Chains A and B, each alone.
Chain A
Amino acid sequence: MKKYTFNEITYYQFVFLIMGTQIGAGFLALPRVLAERAGTDGWMGVVIGWLLSVAASIFLVKTAEKYPNKTVTDILTHLFGRVPGKLATFIYMLYNIWFTWIILINAMLYIKGWFLPNTPDYLIMFLFSIPTFLIVRNGLRIIGRYSELVFYLTIWVPVLFLVLLKDGSFLHLFPLFKVEWSKMAASGLPAIYSFLGFELAFFFYPFLQKKEHAVRGIVIANTLTMLFYLVVTLACFIFISPDEITGYNQPVLNLLKVIEFRFFERVDMIILNILLLIASTTWIPYFYCGVYCSSQLMNKADHHSHVPIFLGLFIAGTLIIHPTWEEFETWQHWMANAGIVFAYLFPAFLWMYSWGYEKYKRRKAL
Chain B
Amino acid sequence: MVTNGERGEFSIFFFRFLKYKRYSSYQKTQPSDHQVQQDSRKDRPISSQLSVNIEELHRLFHQAPDLVIRNFNLANSKVKAALVYLDGLSDKNSISNNVLRSLMQISFDPEKELPTTVGDVKVAHTWNFVENSLFEGASALFIDGETKVFLLDTKGWAERAIEDPQLETSLKGAHQGFVETGSQNVAMLRRYIPNRELVIKEITVGVRGKSKVYIAYLADVASQEVLQELEDRIRQIQMDTIINTGELAEFIEDNPFSPFPQFILTERPDAAASQILQGRFTVIVDRSPAVLIAPATLMSFIQSVDDYSTRWIAASFIRLLRLFAFMITLFLPATYVAVISFNYEVIPLQLFLSIAESRSMVPFPPILEALLMEVTIEMMREAGVRLPAPMGQTVGIVGGIVVGQAAVQAGVVSNIMVIIVAATAIASFIIPSYDMGTAVRLLRFPMIMLAALFGITGIMISFMTILGHIISLESLGTPYSSPLAPFRFSDMKDSFIRFPLWKMVIRPKSVRTIQANRQGNSRKQR
Q: Is the CB of B464 within 8 A of A277?
A: yes
Within 8 A of B (CB), among A280-301: 280
Within 8 A of B (CB), among A120-144: 124, 127-128, 130-131, 134-135, 137-138, 142, 144
Query: With A115-B457, A265-B347, A270-B456 given, is the CB distance from A280 to B485 under 8 Å?
Result: no
Q: Is the CB of B461 within 8 A of A148?
A: no
Which has the most chain A C-beta neighbours within 10 Å: B459, B469, B471, B481? B471
Nearest chain-B residue to A133 (Cβ)?
B468
- Report A-chain residues with C-beta under 8 Å of the C-beta of B351: 263
Which bucket holds chain B's interface residue count? 20 to 34
A276 CB, nearest partner CB in chain B, Å: 5
Interface membership of chain B positions 337-352, coded 1 if the CB is closer than 8 angstroms to chain A and 0 otherwise: 0000011011110010
Interface membership of chain A positions 100-127, coded 1 if the CB is closer than 8 angstroms to chain B and 0 otherwise: 0000000000010001100100001001
User: CA A10 – CA B467 in complex, angstroms?
Assistant: 19
Nearest chain-A residue to B458 (Cβ)?
A127
Q: Is the interface of A mostly helix, strand, loop or mixed?
A: helix
- Report B-chain residues with C-beta under 8 Å of the C-beta of A149: 467, 471, 481, 484-485, 487
- Report A-chain residues with C-beta under 8 Å of the C-beta of B460: 273-274, 276-277
Q: Is the CB of A265 within 8 A of B345?
A: yes
A53 CB, nearest partner CB in chain B, Å: 25
Within 8 A of A (CB), among B125-177: none
Interface membership of chain A positions 262-279, coded 1 if the CB is closer than 8 angstroms to chain B and 0 otherwise: 111110011001101100
* Pick from A134, A145, A264: contact of B479, CB under 8 Å: A145
A5 CB, nearest partner CB in chain B, Å: 15
Q: Is A342 an interface residue (CB 8 A)?
A: no
User: CA A128 – CA B468 in complex, angstroms?
Assistant: 12
Q: Is the CB of A115 within 8 A of B467?
A: no
Q: Is the CB of B479 within 8 A of A127?
A: no
Q: Is A152 an interface residue (CB 8 A)?
A: yes
A-B contacts at CB below 8 angstroms, number = 93
* Pick from A111, A131, A152: contact of B457, CB under 8 Å: A111
- Report A-chain residues with C-beta under 8 Å of the C-beta of B479: 145
Interface membership of chain B positions 467-491, coded 1 if the CB is closer than 8 angstroms to chain A and 0 otherwise: 1110110000001010011110000
B274 CB, nearest partner CB in chain A, Å: 27
Q: Is the CB of B487 within 8 A of A273?
A: no
Within 8 A of B (CB), among A183-206: none
Q: Is B465 an interface residue (CB 8 A)?
A: yes
User: CA A216 – CA B348 in complex, angstroms?
Assistant: 46
- Report B-chain residues with C-beta under 8 Å of the C-beta of A130: 461, 465
Q: Is the CB of A127 within 8 A of B454?
A: yes
Q: Is B455 an interface residue (CB 8 A)?
A: yes
Q: Is the CB of A142 within 8 A of B472?
A: yes
Q: Is A318 an interface residue (CB 8 A)?
A: no
User: CA A186 – CA B29 in complex, angstroms?
Assistant: 86
Q: Is the CB of A145 within 8 A of B457?
A: no
Query: With A10-B486, A265-B345, A265-B346 given, is the CB distance from A146 to B468 under 8 Å?
Result: yes
A343 CB, nearest partner CB in chain B, Å: 27
- Report A-chain residues with C-beta under 8 Å of the C-beta of B345: 265-266, 269
Q: Is the CB of B457 within 8 A of A273?
A: yes
* Pick from B455, B458, B472: contact of A134, CB under 8 Å: B472
Q: What are 21 of the A-B contact pairs (CB < 8 Å)? A: A10-B486, A116-B455, A124-B457, A127-B458, A131-B467, A135-B468, A142-B472, A146-B467, A146-B471, A146-B485, A149-B481, A149-B484, A149-B487, A150-B467, A152-B487, A263-B351, A264-B347, A269-B456, A270-B346, A273-B460, A280-B464
